[in-house]
Amino acid sequence: MSLTIGVDIGGTKVLGGVVGPDGEVLAQARRPTPAHDPTGTLIMIFDVISELIAAHPVDAIGVGAAGWIDSTRSKIMYAPNLAWRDEPLRDHIAERFNLPVVIENDANVAAWAEFRFGAARDASDSMVLYTVGTGIGSGIVLGGELVRGAFGVAAEIGHTRAVPDGQLCGCGRRGCLEQYASGSALVRYARATAQEAPDKAELLLSLANGLPQAVNGPMVTTAARQGDPAAIAAFEQIGYWLGNSMADMVQVLDPQVIVIGGGVIDAGDLLIGPAEASYRDALEARGRLPVANVLAAQMGNLAGVVGAADLARR
- Give the binding site for Zn ion (CB under 5 A): 159, 169, 171, 173, 176
Closest approach of Zn ion to the CB of residue 156, in Å: 8
Which ranges of the chain does DSSP label H, i.e. alpha helix?
A: 38-55, 89-97, 106-117, 178-181, 183-196, 202-207, 217-225, 229-253, 269-282, 303-313
Give 83 or 171: the residue with its C-beta nearer to Zn ion: 171
We find the least distance from the C-beta atom of residue 162 to Zn ion, in angstroms, to be: 10
- Per the DSSP assignment, residues forming a β-bridge with 61 are 5, 101
Min dist CB 173 to Zn ion, Å, is 5
Contact 70, 79 (CB under 8 A): no
CB nearer Zn ion, residue 46 or residue 68: 68
Distance from C-alpha of 196 to C-alpha of 229, rounded to nearest angstrom: 13
Which residues make beta-bridge pairs with 188?
none
Nearest approach in angstroms of CB 179 to Zn ion is 7
40 burial via Cβ count (<10 Å: 0-12, 13-18, 19+): middle
User: In terms of CB distance, is 58 or 176 closer to Zn ion?
Assistant: 176
Residue type, 262: G
Question: Least distance (Å) from Zn ion to the CB of residue 126?
Answer: 25
Pairing mode, if any, of strands 257-261 and 293-296?
parallel
Rank residues 160 and 222 by Cβ distance to Zn ion and give the closer one. Answer: 160
Please report how many Cα atoms fall inside a 13 Å half-sphere around the Cα of residue 151, on the Cβ side: 4
Q: Are 118 and 303 in contact (CB under 8 A)?
A: yes
Nearer to Zn ion, 111 or 169 (CB): 169
Q: State the first-to-last Cα distance of the chain, in angstroms, to the nearest integer.
A: 15
Closest contact distance (angstroms) between CB of 187 and Zn ion is: 18
* CA distance linking residue 166 with residue 297, whole number of Å: 29
Between 68 and 97, CB nearer to Zn ion: 68
Count of beta carbons in the 10 Å neighbourhood of residue 253: 17
Minimum Å gap between C-beta 132 and Zn ion is 15
Q: Tell me the closest approach of the beta carbon of residue 163 to Zn ion, in angstroms.
A: 11
Q: For the CA atoms of the chain, what is the radius of gyration?
A: 20
Nearer of residues 6 and 158 to Zn ion, judged by Cβ: 158
Q: Which is nearer to Zn ion, 31 or 159 (CB)?
A: 159
* Close Cβ partners of 20 (under 8 Å, ≥ 6 residues apart): 1, 2, 3, 26
